[in-house]
Amino acid sequence: MLSAARSSILRRTFTTNSVDGFTGAIGNTPLIYLKGLSEKIGSHIYGKAEFQNPGGSVKDRAALGVVRDAEQRGVLKPGGTVVEGTAGNTGIGLAHVCRARGYRCVIFMPNSQSQEKIDLLRMLGAEVYPVPAVAYENPANYNHQARDFAKDLPNAIWTDQFDNTANAKFHYETTGPEIWEQTKGELDGFICATGTGGTLAGTGKYLQEKSGGKTQIWLADPPGSVLTSYVTSGGKLNERTGSSITEGIGQGRITNNLATFVDQLSGAFTVDDTKSIEMLYQLLDTDGLYMGASSALNVVAAAELGIKLGKGSKVVTMLCDGAYRYQSRLFSKQWLKSKGLEDAIPEHLKKYAVLD
Ligand SMILES: Cc1ncc(COP(=O)(O)O)c(C=O)c1O
């Protein structure tokens, strides 16, 4: 028998409007109307506030998607191990999800990554193995090491975020429906950059299907990625030029996640770092939004798509994460100069670059 006090505590828990732990707090992020930008260009631009996920980025969705899929397929059982090769937000999302679900989390990453990233993952309870930073073709590459580590271990999975389509499926089941509901189905365009391709493929597929093809789905690309060339040439070319300061986006190949939708895209274009950096500072100045570079690139792209689609059009993009993980670079005068980006920031916004 429960004591009267304990049963009243339980009752209160069940009647409050709460979510179920860390994983229950993933998704259902707000859709932010970017008023200043929208007024300037005459189209309505919205950013999906993925930085509000409990682990701080859009990748919380992919992390939960791949873990939940493995649980449902019965290949990950209580007390099991989750292994991934990642240097970024997916590792953070997985580390959180693993703590919340009671799994061991093992992350392989190139040893070229900052100590801050390694420390953060370890603080979140993950085991981190920095390995030599070698090309994908080399068997010692961090992705292959993650795969091999999981293969030899009982009750362990390699989550394989790039080619495991449970990633895109999670966006199809959550991000897409959320945006559809938030825009009441009045949406002319959706655009974002891709790393694994999970966000664009899953969300894009849902929105395109639900709108009966009315919502156009576009891919935004940083310099140095092959995807613009691939999409605009109808899959014939794989050219890349330049490089980018953005992190988590840009690709050298068509991942399985992107492959689920790449043929249905309306188009793709590349956004230069100068425009992304200017937007990053602009969003902070006019909207109070402290965004990472991939989000800034997405907003530039959404504005360009809005202009393409005409006055009054409505376009949604993703605000993937905040600037907190990159601030020592994005707000450093020295670093911006070393990348030739100091002049990308308009004079009146230079005051935000407070770090030397
Ligand atoms: C900051 C950031 N933006 C965008 C993306 C791209 O998302 P996706 O992997 O779903 O294509 C990532 C992926 O790691 C990311 O870390």
Domain coverage including residue 217: 21-53+168-346
Q: What is the mean pLDDT of residues 79-94?
A: 95
Q: Are residues 109 and 204 in the same domain?
A: no
Q: Where are the beta strands (DSSP E) in 77-208?
A: 81-85, 104-110, 127-131, 156-158, 189-193
Residue 8 clears pLDDT 80, i.e. is over it: no
Q: Are residues 154 and 172 in the same domain?
A: no
Joined tokens for residue 41: 């260009």
pLDDT band at 136 (very low <50, low <70, confident <90, very high): confident
- Number of domains forming the structure of the chain: 2
Provide the pLDDT for residue 17: 87
Do 305 and 338 have their domain in common? yes
Query: How far, in Å, from the CA of 188 to the mean position of ligand 1?
Result: 23
Distance, C-alpha 22 to centroid of its chain = 18
Domain boundary among 128, 158, 188: 158
Does residue 187 share a domain with residue 103?
no
Residue 194 alpha carbon, nearest atom of ligand 1: 11
Residue scoring higher pLDDT (155 or 5): 155
Mean pLDDT of all residues in 334-353: 97
Rounded distance from Cα 307 to ligand 1 centre (Å): 25
* End-of-domain residue from the set 103, 137, 158: 158
Residues flanking ligand 1, CB < 6 Å? 57-59, 62, 88-90, 194-200, 248-249, 292, 294, 320-321
- Residue 64's pLDDT is 98
With respect to residue 299, please indicate whether it lies within any of the assigned structural domains: yes
pLDDT at site 152? 87
Mean pLDDT calculated for residue range 28-53: 98
Whether 183 maps to a domain, the answer reads yes
- On the question of pLDDT at 4 being above 80, the answer is no
Q: How far is the CA of 274 from the centre of ligand 1 (A)?
A: 20
> Do 219 and 251 share a domain, yes or no?
yes
Confidence of residue 85 (pLDDT cuts 50, 70, 90): very high
Q: Report the percent of the chain where pLDDT is more than 70.
A: 96
Please state the pTM of the whole predicted model. 0.95
Confidence of residue 154 (pLDDT cuts 50, 70, 90): very high
Q: How far apart are CA 148 and CA 139, in angstroms?
A: 10
Binned at pLDDT 50, 70 and 90, residue 1 comes out as very low
- Whether 308 has a pLDDT exceeding 70, the answer reads yes
Residue 117 annotated among the catalytic residues of the structure: no
Centre of ligand 1 to C-alpha 107, Å, is: 17
Question: What's the whole-number mean pLDDT along residues 29-53?
Answer: 98
Flag whether 154 is in a domain.
yes
Best residue among 167, 174, 199 to mutate for probing ligand 1, ranked by most atoms within 8 Å of CB:
199
Query: For ligand 1, what atom is nearest to the CA of residue 171?
Result: 10
Ordered DSSP codes for 90-122: HHHHHHHHHHHHT-EEEEEEETTS-HHHHHHHH
User: Does residue 10 fall inside a structural domain?
Assistant: no
Q: Which atom of ligand 1 is nearest to the CA of 88?
A: 16
pLDDT at 11 exceeding the cut of 60: no
Q: Is 326 inside a domain boundary? A: yes
pLDDT at 3 over 80: no
How many angstroms separate the CA atoms of 9 and 121, rounded?
A: 34
pLDDT at residue 15 in the model: 65
Atom number, ligand 1, closest to the C-alpha of residue 86: 14
Strands 189-193 and 156-158 come out as unpaired
* 322-347: average pLDDT: 96
Q: Choose the catalytic residue: 48, 59, 205, 308.
A: 59
- Give the mean model confidence (pLDDT) for residues 64-90: 96
237 lies in some domain:
yes
pLDDT at residue 16, rounded to an integer = 81
- In three-state form (DSSP H/G/I as H, E/B as E, the rest C), the secondary structure along 247-272 is CCCCCCCCCHHHHCCHHHCCEEEECC
* Same-domain pairing of 49 and 65: no
Q: Cβ contacts of residue 205 below 8 Å, gap of 6+?
A: 168, 172, 176, 260, 261, 264
The reply to whether 314 and 199 lie within a common domain is yes
Does residue 9 sit within a domain? Answer: no
CATH code for the domain of 338: 3.40.50.1100
Give the pLDDT score at 87. 82
| pLDDT, average across residues 241-259 | 95
Q: 76 C-alpha to center of ligand 1: Å?
A: 25
In a mutational test of the pocket of ligand 1, which residue from 48, 57, 109, 295 has the highest number of ligand atoms less than 8 Å from its CB? 57
Query: Does residue 11 lie within any of the structural domains?
Result: no
Q: Are residues 195 and 291 in the same domain?
A: yes
Q: What would the mean pLDDT of 104-124 be, rounded to a whole number?
A: 92
What 3-state class would DSSP assign to 321?
Answer: strand
Which residue's CA lies nearest to atom 13 of ligand 1? 248
Query: Is pLDDT at 6 greater than 70 in this prediction?
Result: no
Assign 160 a pLDDT band (cuts: 50, 70, 90).
Answer: very high
Residues 69, 41, single domain; the answer is no
| Cβ atoms of 64 and 140 closer than 8 Å | no
Considering 158, 182, 205, which residue would you say is the last residue of a domain? 158
Q: Are residues 128 and 250 in the same domain?
A: no
Q: Tens digit of pLDDT for each residue in 162-202? A: 999 999 999 999 999 999 999 999 999 999 999 999 999 99
CA of 194 to the centre of ligand 1 (A): 6
Look at residue 224 and tell me whether its pLDDT is greater than 50.
yes
Query: Which residue's CA lies nearest to atom 12 of ligand 1?
Result: 248
127/175 same-domain check? no
Q: Are residues 195 and 114 in the same domain?
A: no
Alpha-carbon distances of 269 from 35, 203, 219, rounded to whole Å = 24, 18, 7
Ligand 1 atom with minimal separation from the 258 CA: 11
